[in-house]
Structure 1
């Protein structure tokens, strides 16, 4: 009896080629989704649960955020410092990023290196350097003394924290701006001038509006990062000028007030999401793309 050979038919999944590509993409994303769930979503849910159940069920922890005078002052101080750092970063970073677009390849490489140096330096080393500069009898006091301003004390103040945070976060402002600015066709400026606009008018009406996605990306990124800073305020500030990250640390580590600390953490998360949402609505997806470029290679 002759042997019967069977030819296996291809496996039919019922999916179109586009559906199979989507399924393959989801499989590739599965490890990242699992890691995100285990190390971010579940801890966040635990913090949210603690904030409404510890020490007793209810919203007492959230009510105390806005009724406790001390906590409200800390929240206001944190938002103010984050805003000042963002504004100072904008003032310093915008002209620097613009000059990077005008520089030649060699000079641009040097300017990019200068921006990236903070990424290659330890956070503690940078903060200790500022401590040395701002300490009593240090370089900063000597400079103010030469100007005839007397003994100006910065170490242990909110001003010292703001200055150091601005320097630390400046790359997160420069890089998104430069990423957007270098994609702007400079012939548009020449076209504006050919239509009668002055060089400054052409810059103000053509280049600056096109650069706003980078401005929004850098500003939102710096503001969000500044909200959660801990090391810099702890080293250069004082208990009287504590920011929200320090208060959360004290509540959870020293006072074991996990509910109150969790409520403050949830509040910071809500503010963060609100800032990112407003940035996206104001400038469209360009801001989110610019921020994603920096976040992919940045390290706070």
Structure 2
């Protein structure tokens, strides 16, 4: 009996040693995460929580649902619909323009891709304000684009491209397009080309191999780009304010108006909370559509 105990003891000691080492490592990682979690808590959770509390405070200082009831007014309904229309169009436009660019970059040599990538990230070297004013100059009634169109005989007289839906969409699409290209390119570079070769060896055409093999593997990048562009579109303020000329009302502009003009923090908070809830719901729906968790080994 003592011999059996002696034989088991070394193994038990070794198992307990590794168990303690794993617990120690887990504790170390947890301690390293504490500063980050504290920062997230102070800069995100606390402000959002306070925003939620303010949304239930009425003008008289008491608890009330009047701020949420006000959101049913036509001006807010129209603004809500307009915001999601523009965000959806900008997101779809970014996919249609960004996916081919990212695919082309992923097929180039590393040197050529690095050179072309400069033109993708070049807009980040200038501020959004400068880029928006540049579009204001290009799109105005006597701007470069209208002058070209009239000069080529495509149109007889200048068409309104600013202070409307069109100019706002063009400006936002230009600003947000890199946020679609970069995650797509990063994901596409990790796709093994041997999969496409294997599909071709099985008789699949290049187009069939792309849609059945390459495109499904690029869904994580497509999901990341879609989320980035869509969320940023929902909260965009500067570009719609300048190119929309006050005629295109976005959700963020209504929040700013309630704070700066009316000092109504309760209504502004209710607008922010509603936007946050709807955004989270849409993100959950996008996750279901792209099924990214499946691609990363989820169950």
TM-score, normalization by structure 1: 0.86
Q: 2:173 aligns with which of 163, 166, 169?
A: 166
Q: Is the 8 A contact 1:54 1:258 kept in 2?
A: no
Partner of 2:79: 74
CA distances 1:198-240 after superposition (whole Å, capped 9, x unpaired): 1111111111111122112111211011000011111111222
Q: 2:28 aligns with which of 24, 29, 36?
A: 24
CA distances 1:249-300 after superposition (whole Å, capped 9, x unpaired): 0001110111111111011111222233233333224899xxxxxxxxxxxx
How far the C-alpha of 1:151 sits from its partner, in A, is 1.3
Q: 2:200 aligns with which of 164, 187, 193?
A: 193
Q: 1:111 aligns with which of 116, 121, 124?
A: 116
How far the C-alpha of 1:108 sits from its partner, in A, is 0.2
Task: Write the distance in 1 (CA, Å) between the matches of 2:131 and 2:116.
Answer: 19
Q: 1:272 aligns with which of 274, 279, 294?
A: 279
3-state SS, counterpart of residue 155 of structure 2: coil
Task: Write the distance in 2 (CA, Å) between the matches of 1:48 and 1:244.
Answer: 17
Task: Write the distance in 2 (CA, Å) between the matches of 1:287 and 1:242.
Answer: 38
Q: Is the 8 A contact 2:181 2:225 kept in 1?
A: yes
Task: Write the distance in 1 (CA, Å) between the matches of 2:81 and 2:292.
Answer: 29
Task: Write the distance in 2 (CA, Å) between the matches of 1:167 and 1:45.
Answer: 34
TM-score, normalization by structure 2: 0.86
1:242 aligns with 2:246: no
Q: Is the 8 A contact 2:68 2:270 kept in 1?
A: yes
Task: Write the distance in 1 (CA, Å) between the matches of 2:237 and 2:30.
Answer: 36
Structure 2 CA distance for partners of 1:262 and 1:61, relative to 1, 3 Å: same
Task: Write the distance in 2 (CA, Å) between the matches of 1:64 and 1:220.
Answer: 29
- How many residue pairs get matched? 273
Q: Is the 8 A contact 2:139 2:162 kept in 1?
A: yes
1:86 aligns with 2:91: yes
1:124 aligns with 2:129: yes
3-state SS, counterpart of residue 53 of structure 1: coil
Partner of 1:61: 67
Q: Is the 8 A contact 2:241 2:248 kept in 1?
A: no
How far the C-alpha of 1:144 sits from its partner, in A, is 2.5
Q: Is the 8 A contact 2:58 2:65 kept in 1?
A: no
Task: Write the distance in 2 (CA, Å) between the matches of 1:40 and 1:193.
Answer: 49
Structure 1 window deviating more from structure 2 (143-152 vs 193-202): it is 143-152
Structure 1 window deviating more from structure 2 (104-113 vs 81-90): it is 104-113
Structure 2 CA distance for partners of 1:287 and 1:206, relative to 1, 3 Å: closer
